[in-house]
Amino acid sequence: MRLFYVVLVLLCSLCASVATAADVERWFEMQLLGQPAGWSNELQREQGDGEAYWSTETSMHIKRGSVEVSLSMQVAWLEASDGTPISMTMRQDMSGQRMGVIWAFDGDTIEVTGSQDGRRTTSKVKVPEGTWYSAGALKQETARRITSGETEFALKTMLPDIGVKLVTVTSKQTGTGMYEHDGQSVPVTIWKVTNDAMPFVSNVKMDAQGQIMETVMEAPFGEMVMRRTTKAKAVASFEGSDGPELMDSLMVPVSRPIPNWRTDRTASFRLKARTGAIPSLPSTGYQRMGAVADDGTAVLRVDLDSPSIASEADRTNADFLGASTMIDPTDPAIVKLKDRALDGIGSGEAERAEALRHFTYEWISRKNYATVYASASETARTRTGDCSEHGVLLAALLRADGIPSRAASGAVYLPPGAVAEGPVFGWHMWTQAIIDGHWVDLDATLPVPYTVGHLLADTTAMTDSGGLSNQWNLLSLIGNLTVDVLSVDGSPDS
C-alpha cells in the first residue's frame, strides 16, 4: 500500500540542512518506531560554472508483516549561481521498481518528464505564483535569519516529493541545548519546524551555522528520527536489525465485526482521532462525510446504491485521462491488456469498467507484499503486487478505454482472522472512475466490485507534478484513527 512510499518521503524530507558549502557530505542515521530503519546522505556541491547541486538520498529497510522490503529515494536540485532553479529531480527504487521525475524550469513554465524502464511521459505546468526559494537559496536565507538572531520566520519553497506546489516552512526557536556528535559536545538551538504540506511537527536541533544535527518528527504512528553521524556509523546502524514492522502494527481495531461485509449495501461509522479532530474526509463515490462534531468525531456513511455526481470540473479534467509515470494509458502493454479484457464486452461504461476491474483482479496473479508502489506499466508486465498495484493498473486500463479515473486511498475492512484475531481496518488503495456521470468506487483486490467496508481519505490523479500534496488526510489518520460501527444495512449496533 502507498503508506510505505509516504513514510519514505517523510523521512527524505527530514534532513535538509540549512547552511551552504561546497562539496559537503553529511550523513544521518534513521530510526522509526524506536528501531533502526536506514540512513540518509546529503550532498552539496558547487559546480565549476557557478551552478549549485544539492541532493538527499535516503535508504530505508522495513517489514510488511513478515516480508522484508528495501526502499530508497533521492531528491535533488540544480540551481544557478543566483539561486534561480534549473531543475529538480526525484528518483525512487521501491524493491526494484525504479522510476524518476525531472522538473525542468524555463521561465514561468516547468517541463515535467517521468521515466521508468525506458518509457517516458512529458507534460508542462506553470510555475506557482509568489515569492519562493529553491533548495540552495532556502538554505542561505534560513542560515542568514538564524545567524542574525531571528527566532521565528516562514519561507516558501518547492519540494520534489510534494510536487509543483509552494510549501510554507515555518521555524520557531523553542530553546537551546547541547548535542553529542563524533565525540564532541556541540551547542545547538532547538526549533519547532512545520510545513503546510505535512500535518506533523518536527523538533530540530541546529548548530551555530544552521546545520541540522537531529530531527524528530512527531507522527501519529510513532516518532521518525534522523541523527547526524559519520558515514560508517550511519551505514552500520542498521546491521543486525530487521527494520520496523509497518503493516500489522498499524491496523485499526473495529468496535464489532461486519458479518456480511461483502454483500451489505449501506453502513455508517463513527470516526474519532486519538489526538485532535478527525479531518473532513471527501464526500465522493459511495461515501458521505458528516460534519465534525465539537468532540472531534464525525459520522461517515457508505451507500453502494448512491454514487456521487461528478462535477463539470471533474468531467473535463484532463488529468483523469492523462499519462504519468505511475499511470500511463498509452503504454502498449496497457492497451493490449485493455483490449484483451474487453473482448466481447458491450459498450456500456459500467459493464466495461467492471470487466476491467475483474480482469485486474485476475491478472495480478502474485498477490504479495514484496512489491512496493510499482507503476501500472510495471505491474502489467510482472503481474505482481498488493493494493496499490491493483489500484494503479485498473486506473490505467480505465483511462486506456476513455473512462476518467483516479486512485483512492484510505482504509478497508478486514474480518476476524484475516490478519488479526478481531476485525480491523487496514490501510488501502483502490480506484474511482467516472461512469455515466457519477464517481464510482472499484476495488480490484476483491472478487466483488466494492464493499461498504471502505473509508476514503484522499483521491489523486497521480500526475507527475502532483507529488504527495493530496495525502494530508491519510497522513493525519495513520496511527490516529478509531472506528465504531453504528449500523449496517439499516440495523444499528445492539
**What are the tens digits of pLDDT across the range 387-407?**
999 999 999 999 999 999 999
| 239 and 256 fall within a common domain | no
141-155, 319-333, 372-386, 462-476: least confident range: 462-476
What pLDDT is stored for residue 376 in this prediction? 93
Residue 176 CA, distance from chain mean position? 33
What pLDDT is stored for residue 444 in this prediction? 98
The whole-angstrom separation of Cα 90 and Cα 195 is 19
**pLDDT higher for 149 or 17?**
149
What pLDDT is stored for residue 12 in this prediction? 53
| CA-derived radius of gyration, the chain | 23
The whole-angstrom separation of Cα 445 and Cα 424 is 17
| 291 and 306 fall within a common domain | yes
Kindly report, residue by residue over 141-189, the tens digit of the pLDDT.
888 898 889 999 999 998 876 778 888 999 999 999 999 888 889 999 9
- Domain closes at, from 217, 245, 273: 245
What pLDDT is stored for residue 203 in this prediction? 95
Q: How far apart are the first and last CA of the chain?
A: 34
Number of H helices, E strands in the chain: 9, 27
Name the one residue in this structure whose C-alpha cell is 459498450. 347
Kindly report, residue by residue over 57-102, the tens digit of the pLDDT.
988 887 777 777 778 888 889 999 888 999 988 888 865 667 888 9
The whole-angstrom separation of Cα 89 and Cα 149 is 33
Query: Cβ distance 454 to 91 under 8 Å?
Result: no
| 208 and 319 fall within a common domain | no
The whole-angstrom separation of Cα 168 and Cα 195 is 5
| 403 and 464 fall within a common domain | yes
The whole-angstrom separation of Cα 216 and Cα 179 is 14
**C-alpha cell at position 252:** 485499526
| 234 and 346 fall within a common domain | no
Domain that holds residue 217: 3-245
| 336 and 233 fall within a common domain | no
The whole-angstrom separation of Cα 199 and Cα 207 is 26
The whole-angstrom separation of Cα 68 and Cα 137 is 38
DSSP, res 323: -
The whole-angstrom separation of Cα 436 and Cα 307 is 10
**pLDDT higher for 248 or 460?**
460
Residue 417 CA, distance from chain mean position? 28
DSSP, res 320: G
Kindly report, residue by residue over 104-113, the tens digit of the pLDDT.
999 999 998 9
**C-alpha cell at position 302:** 457508505
| 407 and 360 fall within a common domain | yes
Does 4 have pLDDT greater than 50? no
As a whole number, mean pLDDT of residues 309-338 equals: 96
- Domain closes at, from 245, 268, 302: 245
Kindly give, in sequence order, each residue whose CB lies less than 8 Å from that of residue 368, ignoring residues fewer than 6 positions away.
67, 384, 385, 386
pLDDT level of residue 272 (50, 70, 90 thresholds): very high
pLDDT level of residue 222 (50, 70, 90 thresholds): confident
Nearest-CA neighbor of 189 among 151, 153, 137? Answer: 151
Question: What percent of the chain stands above pLDDT 70?
Answer: 92
Q: What is the average pLDDT value for the chain, to the nearest integer?
A: 88
| 52 and 173 fall within a common domain | yes
Angle between helices 349-363 and 332-341 (to 10 degrees): 110
As a whole number, mean pLDDT of residues 188-205 equals: 89
| 127 and 269 fall within a common domain | no
Query: Cβ distance 438 to 307 under 8 Å?
Result: yes
**What b/e string do you get for 127-157 counting C-beta neighbours within 10 Å, with b at 16 or more?**
beeeebbbbbbbbbbbbebbeeeeeeeebbb
| 265 and 139 fall within a common domain | no
The whole-angstrom separation of Cα 247 and Cα 243 is 12
The whole-angstrom separation of Cα 457 and Cα 360 is 23
Name the one residue in this structure whose C-alpha cell is 462525510. 289
We report the CATH number of the domain holding residue 364 as 3.10.620.30
Report the phi/psi class of residue 152: left, alpha or beta, with left for phi > 0 and alpha for psi in -120 to 50.
beta
| 230 and 259 fall within a common domain | no
Report phi then psi at 58, rounded to 5.
-125, 130
Does 2 have pLDDT greater than 60? no
Name the one residue in this structure whose C-alpha cell is 541540522. 212
pTM: predicted TM-score of the whole model, two decimal places: 0.86
- Domain closes at, from 245, 279, 297: 245
| 239 and 258 fall within a common domain | no
Query: Cβ distance 57 to 73 under 8 Å?
Result: yes
Number of domains present in the structure of the chain: 2
